[in-house]
Amino acid sequence: MKAFRKLSGREKLIESLRWFCVLPAVAVAWYVGNRGGGLLARFAMTIGIIPGDQSFGSTCARYLLWLLPDGMACIVAGAWTAPRCRFVVACLVAVAWALLTDVIHRWTACTIIPTTVAAICGVAFIIHSEKPRIVVPEVSTDENPPAV
């Protein structure tokens, strides 16, 4: 990837617009992930996978089913929208999302654990999707190898 100063005017405009779209993409993903995670948690309670009582374990399980899609959607949307430094963007979005979610829910243990798990899973997904692919060089079967 070329340095930003070496890009043409059109490429600079496109890259700047993509950077500008990172926060709106995170906001849309937060809304969609929040709704999807909430539906998933309610469905799990309805069919009896998670008990509906207020014990610590069932509350943490509900929050995990609710916040995991929410956090991963935010982190992945922000990182994939960014034109460069996707790992750094994923880490920043993960920290900001986890802190904001924990502030909203008043730092209860039932939200700190799922937000941490969701943030780690989101960043791990970006690391896995961005890792360089291993390319095996072709071996020449000629008797006379090319001169170097």
CA atoms of 96 and 27, how far apart (whole Å): 12
pTM comes to: 0.81
Tell me, what's the pLDDT at 142?
A: 59
pLDDT at residue 147 tops 80? no
Chain mean position to CA 91: 9
The percentage of residues in the chain with a pLDDT greater than 90, rounded to a whole number, is: 62
7: left (phi over 0), alpha (psi -120 to 50) or beta: beta
pLDDT tens for residues 71-121? 999 999 999 999 989 999 999 999 999 999 999 999 998 999 999 999 999
CA atoms of 137 and 135, how far apart (whole Å): 6
DSSP state of 48: T
